Structure 1
Amino acid sequence: MSDAADGGDRLHPEHPGDLNAAVLGVRRGDEAAFRAVYRRLNPELLRYAAVIVGQDAEDVVAETWLQIARDVLRFEGDGASFRRFALAVTRNRARDVLRRRRRRVQEITVPTDELPEPRASGAPGGEAAPDTAEVAGAELSTREIVSLIGTLPVSQAEAVLLRVVLDLDTKSTAEILGKRPGAVAMALSRGLRKLARMVERPEATAVRR
């Protein structure tokens, strides 16, 4: 799978029409179409899962495709909807892994640096437009940025990966994460500020969608 994951810096589907056609074929039971969808989406599902569960990403994505294969004939929607569906399934499977991990370590003292970051009251920096993404460390490659994203608290990492790297809009990101757009914007802002500090660039470049 590593060779598919090295497809360059444009991680989102470049030809939505092709994805729409492939998904239509999948809904008709076309195995070749399913393979085409798999090749298109598998690299970004791996990246998303890796941000949440690290080295268990391949297992998570394998479970994701098994569930998709079971449910796909009941799916209704276009390529963009299928992509959101696949990302949401990946997130659910990854969360299952995290829950299993927590059960295994219930009797073990967890280092404080592994605990989720406390939720601060109020949005940082006042008003923040939900559809505004600040890209930190623009000179870094996507691979380097994804690696840094993996060090963020999970809620921030998911928001940054989906909004900035996978190029989903705020509404779609909020649907996948099961959060309000404002909460997504807050997690995105915090995550990007941390990324900016990591690459020693306190300023960030605003990218408006």
Structure 2
Amino acid sequence: MIRFLLPVICLFLLHSCADNLPPYENTATDAIRLNQVGYYPATSKRAIITKATTASEFKVVDFQKNKTVFTAKLSESLIWDLAGETVQVADFSSLKQQGIFVLYVDGIGYSHPFEIKPAVLNKALKAAIKGQYYQRASMGLEKEYASLWERSKGHPDDSVLFHLSTGRSGVVVSPKGWYDAGDYGKYVVNGALSLGQMLTLYEQYPTII
């Protein structure tokens, strides 16, 4: 009986040691860079390690259970020319399990939490689309759609003076478009980008939009 139980006890102890991780305690490091919004189960999933480490592997840990669900080798050190950094890649694309996780590298610590689930980017998509509405110029925002951010029409821009740098005088009619960031400026490039994003969205998902 003892000979039978001994291997079982050893396996249990090994498993316990493998999950004997330090507590998270909001100690996420920026040296592990990943998509903090999350990943779809079937898509590629990678993190970039920007701090030198002697560790050869990384772990993906269930954030709520503090249990390792995935372990793999870190890549060899690579030079990221655009950032001027030496980095390693943690590829956990084969992890399909859904939940909230953190990535752990010994000697570096934990990443910020992230989710793996279907439709994980829906909230960000809705926020981006709402942003297109809230930033609209020359039109009011209705309470039905804007709620607390309801406002009346501002800046009709139907009689705009030419800037001195144009070498022109008089006025031009230039209504609508989008306010830029937190001010009332409007720019052709930024307006074209917003319009391009909406047209691309319609082109790619005509049955949804």
Which structure dedicates a bigger proportion of its chain to helix?
1
TM-score (norm 1): 0.22
Structure showing greater Rg: 2
TM-score (norm 2): 0.22
Greater relative contact order: 1 or 2 (C-alpha under 8 angstroms, separation 6 or more)? 1
Which structure dedicates a bigger proportion of its chain to strand?
2
